[in-house]
Structures are given as C-alpha cells and as structure tokens.
C-alpha cells in the first residue's frame, strides 16, 4: 500500500462526515462536498464555490483532491479508443482505457499497479507487481474519463454542433475492471470503490453496468457471491483443461477447474447474472478443436457467454493470434453445442490498448 496521503476520493461518506465534525463544521457540508465530487464531478477545490474559502483551504491542505497525473494520452487511429497512462504520487503507473461503441462509452480501469498473477501472455503479468491501488485511485479513474466524455457534450452545446454520431450518449455507460491488476487480489479496496461508485447519494452508477474480471481466485469469487451485488462477473478462462490452463495461468495450480467452475456456477445462480468467460485465442495453443469441445463441456448448463479475443501480442510471450479460419472452426464447435459466444474485435492495437501494454511500451522508450 502506498504511504502517501489519502485523497478526498479515498474517504467514505461517514469518514468525510467525521473529519468535518472534528473541524466543527456544520453537518450539511459533507453532503455538499459529496455532491461536488460525485454529482458535479469538479476537479478542483476552487470550483466548490458553495464552500467557504477557509474550509476549501483546509480541505486542500489535508487531502489532495486526486492523485492521478496523466503522463501519456493516446487516441487510436480510428479515434474510438483513448488510453491514458497515469502516474501516481509514488511514481507507480496505471493504465485506463475509454472505448466508444455505438451508443456505449465504456471505461476500463485498473485495480493494481502491476499484477502478481504471472499469466504468461499478459503484459501486466510480465511486468510484475507494484502495489494495490486505494479505493480513491480506482474511483478517480472513472471520474476522470466521465469528465472527458462530458466535455465532448459541452463542446457541442457551445458550438451548436449536432452531437457526435459516434457517441450519442455523453455519459459513461459501462464500467469494466479489466485494466491492470487482479481485482480480487485487492478485495477490500475494490468493494469500497464499487460502493462509492454506486452510492445513490453520490455517483450512483448502476451496478448492472459494472463488470469485474478475475483470473479465478476462488475464495474471493465465493466471498463476492455473498456480497449480493448485481455486478457482472467475467472469468479469465483461456483454457478448459488443467494442464494447459496451469501453463498459461499459474493460479490454476492453486484453484483448478474443478473448484473454479462450481464457484462460477454458484455466482450465476445467486445473482441470476450471466457470467462471461474470457478466452484469448492463441494459435495452436488454445484454439484447437479439443479445447473447444472441453470448453463446451464446462460451459454446458451454465448461464454464461464466451468472449473470444484474438491474442494481443506482447514482448514476453511467443504465441500468435489465431487465424480467421481457426477462429471460425473453434466457434463452430461452440455454436454446435449451443454455447453463446462472440468475437471481440481487437481495438486500439496501435496504442497498445491491451492490458498493461502501454506501460510496457513506455518503459521501452
Ligand atoms: N486480472 C483480471 C483482469 C485484468 S486482465 C483478469 O485476469 O481477469 C483483463 C483481461 O485481458 C483478462 O481476461 C486477461 O486474461 C486478458 N488479457 C491479458 N493479456 C492479454 C493479451 N495479451 N491478449 C488478449 N487478452 C489478454
Ligand atoms: Fe494479472 Fe489478469 Fe494479467 Fe493475469 S491476465 S497477469 S491476473 S492482469
């Protein structure tokens, strides 16, 4: 954990209330500040104009408003994907990505700087672990991009331009925790962040529009099931037999498929949410007919959807993305077994939009 000071985004509402109480401030101030932060989304203390100057000064002295500093800001050549590499106060770095699809604005956020899980094909895993993010650092990534998305709307209003047809809704519509890090290895900060983001008197982001992706930390999936949140769960499966999966995702040695799949089943039946299985297609590794059949077997009877994505190449891994023919053959086996599946288009390759790839590229230069 970082030893630098908590930011205002790190505070729960009751923590803010007691801090203000300790300063003998009126009780309504907490609500006012909360609104500036999570409803009006201001990014400076000066903008909180309903607060007396001395209070603003004191807040600024005690709590930095945020801790993320954009370092590299890239737009993909098609203009639909934007990625920012943020520096944290201790110089750790994280990546956040905004993707626009038709009417959707999806932000993909990080939960850790680096990752300790060591998945062989993943740029973040290849870079190792730095530290857990605080709940405020998780929340702040979302607010940062929400402001950016809204700026587009304001610019249109000013110029009288018709809304950008590519993003009909100038709001974030979806939030995925699929950036750097393993969310369930930073469980408490994750839960705090989800609560703050979905807080009805604050940001009030719908939990059904949030997806948490995990490599398969089974005890934490079980614990998450007990939270009774309506959050979507994505599980990085990538292989349907233990030997292959363990060779790609070391965590499989600890939590093999025979414990992972029942935990997935329990989550789906407790929440009635359709689970996603993530599958990076790697030529001659996990795109074989045998793997497709084994996957169909695992997925049978489970409320799930398989998200196929051709491997994004990384420095530390030799495999190649599957060819179009092999992908089609793989999918036809799933289709024949009535396993819902879709192929995600690789987007933002030119800006290293894959997990952990921008930081890897940046470190090279
Ligand atoms: N740690 C979590 C979430 C972050 S990774 C997890 O593993 O689920 C987000 C997704 O990107 C995971 O499904 C991960 O397996 C996948 N991924 C990582 N490296 C990739 C690569 N090089 N190509 C395609 N997908 C990759
Ligand atoms: Fe970590 Fe997920 Fe990458 Fe595995 S795939 S190393 S769990 S970020």
Please report which confidence band the pLDDT of residue 186 belongs to, taking 50, 70 and 90 as the band edges.
Answer: very high
Judge whether 355 counts as a catalytic residue.
yes
CB atoms within 10 A of CB 92: 18
Quick one: pLDDT at residue 78? 83
pLDDT per residue as tens digits for the range 350-365: 666 665 555 666 554 4
Backbone angles phi, psi at 71, to 5 degrees: -115, -45
Whole-angstrom Cα distance, residue 58 to residue 257? 53
Q: Which tokens in the block code for residue 239? A: 């292989």
Which residues 6+ apart lie within 8 Å of 338 measured at CB?
A: none
How much is the average pLDDT of 313-328? 96
Which atom of ligand 2 is found nearest the CA of 123? 3
In sequence order, what DSSP letters do the residues of 253-315 get, joined into one string?
Answer: HHS-HHHHHHHHHHHHHHH-PPEEEEEEEBTTTT-SHHHHHHHHHHHTTSSEEEEEEEPPP-T
Residue in 95, 100, 137, 140 annotated catalytic:
95
Percent of the chain with pLDDT over 90: 83
Interval between CA 181 and ligand 2 midpoint (Å) = 6
- Rounded to two decimals, what is the model's pTM? 0.93
Contact 218, 262 (CB under 8 A): no
Residue in 108, 119, 304, 355 annotated catalytic:
355
Q: Whose CA is nearest to atom 6 of ligand 2?
A: 125
Least confident range from 235-249, 257-271, 338-352: namely 338-352
Sheet order of strands, 93-101 included:
69-75, 81-87, 93-101, 104-108, 174-177, 210-214, 232-236, 275-281, 304-310, 341-343
Whole-angstrom Cα distance, residue 353 to residue 106? 13
Interval between CA 180 and ligand 1 midpoint (Å) = 9
Give the residues surrounding ligand 1 with Cβ less than 6 Å away: 121-122, 178, 182, 213-215, 236, 278, 280, 309, 311-312, 314, 354-355
Interval between CA 112 and ligand 2 midpoint (Å) = 10
Judge whether 95 counts as a catalytic residue.
yes
pLDDT per residue as tens digits for the range 12-63: 999 999 999 999 999 999 999 999 999 999 999 999 999 999 999 999 999 9
Three-class secondary structure of residue 26 per DSSP: coil
Give the residues surrounding ligand 2 with Cβ less than 6 Å away: 115, 117-119, 122, 124-125, 181-182, 215, 236, 355
Contact 67, 90 (CB under 8 A): no
Please report which confidence band the pLDDT of residue 154 belongs to, taking 50, 70 and 90 as the band edges.
Answer: low
Interval between CA 122 and ligand 2 midpoint (Å) = 6
Quick one: pLDDT at residue 364? 47
Return the DSSP state at 339. Answer: -
How much is the average pLDDT of 111-126? 97
Quick one: pLDDT at residue 57? 97
Least confident range from 1-15, 249-263, 281-295: namely 1-15
């Amino acid at each position: 954990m970082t030893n630098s000071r908590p930011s205002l985004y790190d505070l729960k509402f009751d923590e803010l209330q007691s801090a203000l109480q300790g300063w003998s401030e009126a009780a309504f101030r907490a609500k006012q500040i909360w609104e500036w932060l999570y409803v009006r989304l201001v990014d400076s203390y000066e903008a909180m104009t309903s607060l007396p100057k001395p209070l603003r000064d004191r807040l600024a002295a005690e709590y930095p408003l945020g801790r993320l500093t954009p370092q590299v800001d890239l737009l993909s050549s098609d203009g639909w994907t934007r990625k920012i590499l943020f520096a944290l106060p201790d110089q750790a770095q994280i990546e956040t990505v905004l993707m626009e699809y038709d009417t959707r604005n999806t932000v993909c956020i990080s939960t850790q700087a680096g990752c300790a899980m060591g998945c062989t094909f993943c740029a973040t895993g290849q870079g190792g672990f730095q530290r857990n993010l605080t709940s405020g650092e998780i929340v702040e990534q979302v607010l940062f991009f929400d402001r950016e998305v809204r700026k587009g709307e304001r610019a249109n209003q000013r110029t009288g331009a018709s809304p950008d047809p590519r993003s009909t809704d100038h709001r974030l519509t979806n939030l995925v925790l699929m950036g750097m890090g393993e969310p369930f290895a930073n469980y408490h900060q994750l839960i705090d962040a989800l609560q703050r983001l979905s807080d009805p008197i604050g940001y009030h982001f719908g939990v059904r529009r949030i997806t948490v992706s995990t490599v398969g930390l089974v005890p934490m999936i079980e614990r998450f099931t007990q939270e009774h949140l309506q959050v979507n769960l994505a599980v990085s499966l990538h292989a349907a037999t233990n030997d292959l999966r363990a060779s790609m995702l070391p965590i499989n040695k600890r939590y093999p498929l025979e414990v992972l799949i029942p935990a997935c089943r329990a989550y789906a039946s407790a929440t009635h949410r359709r689970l996603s299985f993530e599958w990076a297609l790697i030529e001659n590794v996990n795109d074989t007919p045998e793997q497709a059949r084994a996957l169909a077997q695992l997925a049978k009877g489970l409320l799930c959807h398989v998200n196929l994505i051709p491997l994004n190449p990384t420095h530390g891994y030799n495999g190649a993305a599957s060819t179009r023919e092999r992908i089609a053959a793989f999918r036809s086996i799933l289709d024949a077994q009535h396993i819902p599946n879709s192929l995600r288009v690789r987007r933002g390759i030119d800006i290293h939009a894959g997990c952990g790839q921008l930081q890897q590229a940046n470190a090279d230069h």
